Structure 1
Amino acid sequence: MIEAKMPSPKQETAFMEQQSVSSFFNIRLISLVGVFLIFIVVGLGAYTRLSHSGLGCPDWPGCYGFLTSPDSKTEVALANARFPENAVESDKGWIEMIHRYVAGIALLLTLAIFVSALRAKMKGNQGTYFKHISLILCVIVMQAAFGMWTVTLKLWPQVVTAHLLGGFTTLSLYYLLWLRSKSNASQVIKARISLKAKVAVSFVFMLTIVQIFLGGWMASNYAAFACPDLPLCQGELWPNADYAQGFNLFQSIGPTYLGGLLEGEARVAIHLVHRVGALILMLAILAVGFYIFNKNKQLACRLVVVLMLQVGLGIANVWFHIPVQIAVLHNLVAALLLLHMLEVLYVLMQAKEEVDEYAY
């Protein structure tokens, strides 16, 4: 008779934790749902901003005091009486409110998985993802605050840009949670990776974030039309630009930034820096793709394809004079590019570090 092997206390604890967590939610599935939901929120936020609907509702969290954008004659009359300085534009109000509804659903989803993780932790489990989920909840709550300030501070560029970065941060955290939940994530790259390579890819990842900030700063200051031609700008290779004013992060608040308040040369400065940043980032990401090609061909190809799509959309934005559809896609593909760079960085960090045999 063969005696059954009893599990060790450590194995038993891990099994119980997995069963407890699974009884509340499937972390891999729910994190993937979160990724898609926040991706939609990012797209809706971009559409709200680019269609000039950011002040479609002058109050928060409602719209002219209603839960929906006012449509009927009675609602419109009451809304105009409540906010006489903001004439009702129902279509823009609906764009803003739909964005808020979906963002609210994302907040409720995050709150639900936080409560589930907290319950699992209170039952004595280690809570592998508890800190990560708590961070997502903190960021998304802060996002709600930035959404409110975007309206109350009348599209102040600092807040609008921070709101955009917060959306990208939430998306990245959900994607990272999904990567962590994959059982084979640490085996994607089996080759040893040097510390220098990890630092270099981390630097490119930071460059990606900086470029997203530049794109958000350009959009919030309405500088996309500052250079209507390509590769020149207003017919010149390097036109006059006011970089001090363009990147003054201490602009005074109000009364409203709808349409932008910066002078032409300041907008040119923002646009030019965004273009130069795009060129530098393109070369850097191509180098990353070349580096990881022999280590993970699928990931490298995905990264380069998304990069080329983003470059093409950036060029199309200028050639076709910033159509809303292409501009929204440009925002969404920027999010995809950030997620791919995050995945590259994650799998490289999970790989074993290469040891320099001459270091001893």
Structure 2
Amino acid sequence: MAVKRLIKFTLVFTLAVILMGAYTRLSDAGLGCPDWPGCYGHLAVPSASHELAKVEQHFPDMTIEPEKAWLEMIHRYIAGTLGLMVLAILILCLKQPQAPKKLPSFIAALIILQAALGMWTVTMKLMPIVVMAHLIGGFSLFALLLLLYLRLKPLRIPGGDSHARKLMPLALVCLGVLIIQIMLGGWTSSNYAALACTTLPICEGNWVDNLRFADAFSPFQGEHPSFEFGVLDYSTRMTIHVTHRIWAVVTAVMLIWLAMKLRYSHSHIMRNSGYLLLLLVIMQVGLGISNVVMNLPLGIAVSHNAGAALLLLTLVFINYALWRKA
């Protein structure tokens, strides 16, 4: 079926868009182009003399940084391509009588919202709540595309044995715990709090007395010319980081518990899903520790985003197998 092949390719492409977005954000290139959808009023990064003259006229206080500008524009190009792919999926699903209609329509609506969030990320100068919403939208799109693929897949997943059915509530709780952790990670990144603590296991100094939860998790941070590099003080950023790190322990314990339980399933698909989940958790914990020890190297930080996306996909698959195919 053509739509299934397209969805599989779109899943891979969505992961690429998520990673490119993370790379752009972590490279501090989120405002590489201060306008939207173009770059300094052009469809590509301006470089010719007459283009640069126009930039000086309309953006007198801005200096073009070509590397950052191209990162931002490449991210927009591939995100736009992803939007066209989602539109194609919707059209194919609407044409096929047996294909779902509501889910692809919702995915198409989500991609439009993602485009708006991408615009607001720039026009609102990296406001953290908008940046985090944009990140969560990308992860949601990834998960929903997998759900759509599973809905179209004729193979019935043999996850309905008596042992597996007992894990249905645990799997759902684990998915909720992971979603909270992904949101905390997005909030940590959008507030530039990833390096607020540079020691293990928690944070340096008397961190307990400096926790400020009300300020740390307020979506409103006042009016600022730009939110680039963050506007919160150290104690507030430290609170965000500590919360993300502690919840990471909770998440790891819960997911490992589920993975170990899945080992006893009668279904080889569920057992293999458990082994994959365990492997991804170990890798993700290792990447998180490496980010702290090595002061957030770009490659490891981007890989940490990839690990979160793959964990989400694995848990969505496990829940689908247990709840829909039991």
TM-score, length-scaled by structure 2: 0.94
User: 8 Å contact 2:211–2:235 — kept in the other structure?
Assistant: yes
The aligned residue for residue 143 of structure 1 is 114
2-structure distance, mates of 1:117, 1:31: 11
Identity %: 40
1-structure distance, mates of 2:153, 2:135: 28
User: 8 Å contact 2:3–2:93 — kept in the other structure?
Assistant: no
- 1:193 offset after TM fit, Å? 5.6
Map 1:259-278 onto structure 2 (within 5 A): 259-278=229-248
Letter aligned with residue 63 of structure 1 = C
2-structure distance, mates of 1:157, 1:214: 12
The aligned residue for residue 157 of structure 1 is 128
- 1:181 offset after TM fit, Å? 2.4
Letter aligned with residue 285 of structure 1 = L
The aligned residue for residue 325 of structure 1 is 299
Q: Deviations over 1:103-159 (max 9, x none)?
A: 001100111121222234xxxx3x432211111101111000000000000000000
In the alignment, structure 1 residue 81 sits paired with structure 2 residue 51: no
- 1:203 offset after TM fit, Å? 1.4
2-structure distance, mates of 1:187, 1:317: 37
- Which deviates more from structure 2 when the two are superposed, residues 49-58 or residues 190-199? 190-199
Map 1:5-84 onto structure 2 (within 5 A): 22=1, 26-84=2-60
Query: Could you list the runs of 5+ residues in structure 2 that have no partner in the other structure?
Result: none
- 1:267 offset after TM fit, Å? 0.2
User: 8 Å contact 1:156–1:254 — kept in the other structure?
Assistant: no
1-structure distance, mates of 2:207, 2:237: 16
The aligned residue for residue 200 of structure 1 is 170
Aligned residue pair count: 322
1-structure distance, mates of 2:123, 2:91: 31
Aligned-residue CA RMSD in angstroms?
Answer: 1.6
Secondary structure of 1:217's counterpart equals helix
**Residue 92 of structure 1, aligned match among 62, 65, 68:** 68
The aligned residue for residue 14 of structure 1 is none
> Which structure has more RCO (C-alpha within 8 Å, separation ≥ 6)?
2
1-structure distance, mates of 2:91, 2:222: 40
1-structure distance, mates of 2:243, 2:159: 35
User: 8 Å contact 2:202–2:245 — kept in the other structure?
Assistant: no
Secondary structure of 1:252's counterpart equals coil
Q: Structure 1 residue runs of 4+, over 4 Å off?
A: 193-196
In the alignment, structure 1 residue 168 sits paired with structure 2 residue 139: yes
The aligned residue for residue 317 of structure 2 is 343
Letter aligned with residue 209 of structure 1 = I
Query: Could you list the runs of 5+ residues in structure 1 that have no partner in the other structure?
Result: 1-21, 353-360
- 1:195 offset after TM fit, Å? 6.7
User: 8 Å contact 1:153–1:253 — kept in the other structure?
Assistant: no
**Residue 250 of structure 2, aligned match among 247, 266, 280:** 280
